[in-house]
Amino acid sequence: MEHSTNRLLTTHAGALPRPSDLEGTMVDRPHHPESFAEFLPRSVADVVEQQRAAGLDVLNDGEMGKPEWSWYVTSRLSGFEHRPAERTEALNGQDQRDFPGYYAHAIENGLWYGNTNSLVATARAQTPVCTGPIEYDPTQVRRDIENLRSALEGSDAVEAFLPVVAPASAAVGQRNEYYSTDEDYLWALADALKQEYEAIVEAGFLVQIDDAWTPAIWNTYRREFDVRSWRRFCMKRIEALNHALSGIPMDRVRYHVCWGSWHGPHVSDIPMAELAPLMLSVDAGAYLFEAGNVRHEHEYTVWDDIGLPAGKIIIPGVVSHATTIVEHPQLVAQRLVRFAERVGRSNVIGGTDCGLGGRVHPEVAWAKLRSLTEGAALASEQLWGSRR
């Protein structure tokens, strides 16, 4: 994994805006699979080109082939059947209890901006239920690998990555009717997902593990957990993730966490001071986390007290999906310099709080990414004495 050797590199957290024609074929894929197969490679090529045009260094496929960030995986696993969802809204935690009027309004009118709302609604209309042994089918990850490889031909990208779900986050909202315990179910998911992780790294790409559930569990079970029990609960799930990552060089792994990332008050988020040590226990070379939204921006100071292990990289979000205001490049630069001063300039890459696709309007998403790269250039000038 490349460090920022003579300037600050830039990347993002995963999802990017989808073209409407691709979204339409994804929703209607059972009826028109040939249209989806036609639009997907073209959409990946286009989103790679747009990332380079925005000035990003470490690119991905924008998650063009995934209808939803976590449950996509059940289409790659045997042992599942899909049943009508008992309810359409999964958010149910302390934040929701503290602001019931807001969440009632938001659920009715949409928690996201969303040109992917129809995809998410389609995915969430049915609940995956595990009714048999879990086995992994690599067909779709091979498709994603080849689409990204083809799109990168002739590109001057520094590196590329594919985002995938962590075992603990894959299990959220699903039901287990086959394995004797939830822990057995979790480890079966880890064994299956290990094959996806390995395939991506063997193809020469970085693998990014998306794990919104580890921080968000604090909000969900706030009535039941104190910090110690939350940490113990999460560590069991990180053990399963590290099992899935075993044998993969840590410098090929990015680990991404967020606080659930929905548009809400977030007053019940676990503090970064508690999350960071848990995050660093994952066998990864780089760690992506929210640092640009106003609930968590102040927490850059935790790196005054928590040492970054040698050879590791942090990728703080310095532009956020949580607002449609486009961050000024000078603000982006200020945020990046704060982290560089604490962990070393070569150990920082500029990133986003979470995926921008579906969270803000596409025009705003791309403007934020341009501001990210412009801000990184300003910060590089301050840190190295030269701009990119």
C-alpha atoms less than 13 angstroms from C-alpha of 247 in its C-beta half-sphere? 10
With respect to residue 350, please indicate whether it lies within any of the assigned structural domains. Answer: yes
pTM of the model: 0.94
Q: How confident is the model at residue 387 (pLDDT cuts 50, 70, 90)?
A: low
Per-residue confidence (pLDDT) for residue 279, from 0 to 100: 97
With respect to residue 4, please indicate whether it lies within any of the assigned structural domains. Answer: no
Query: What gap in Å lies between CA 319 and CA 369, rounded to an integer?
Result: 8
Query: What gap in Å lies between CA 221 and CA 18, rounded to an integer?
Result: 33
Domain span at 142 = 9-384
With respect to residue 142, please indicate whether it lies within any of the assigned structural domains. Answer: yes
At position 292, the amino acid (one-letter code) is G
Contact 356, 368 (CB under 8 A): yes
Contact 79, 132 (CB under 8 A): yes
Residues 6+ apart with CB under 8 A from 34: none
CATH of the domain at 136: 3.20.20.210
Is the predicted pLDDT of residue 32 greater than 60, yes or no? yes
- Between 20-27 and 117-124, two packed helices, what is the crossing angle to 10 degrees? 20
| Domain count across the chain | 1
Query: What gap in Å lies between CA 354 and CA 294, rounded to an integer?
Result: 14
Query: What gap in Å lies between CA 261 and CA 270, rounded to an integer?
Result: 13
Is the predicted pLDDT of residue 115 greater than 70, yes or no? no
Is the predicted pLDDT of residue 388 greater than 80, yes or no? no
Is the predicted pLDDT of residue 39 greater than 80, yes or no? yes
Query: What gap in Å lies between CA 130 and CA 171, rounded to an integer?
Result: 10
With respect to residue 2, please indicate whether it lies within any of the assigned structural domains. Answer: no
Summarised one tens digit per residue, pLDDT across range 154-213 is 999 999 999 999 999 999 888 899 999 999 999 999 999 999 999 999 999 999 999 998
Summarised one tens digit per residue, pLDDT across range 92-110 is 799 999 999 998 888 777 7
Find the helix or strand (DSSP H, E) in which 362 lies: helix 362-384
Cα–chain center distance at 202: 21
With respect to residue 3, please indicate whether it lies within any of the assigned structural domains. Answer: no
Lowest mean pLDDT among 13-22, 104-113, 147-156, 313-322: 104-113
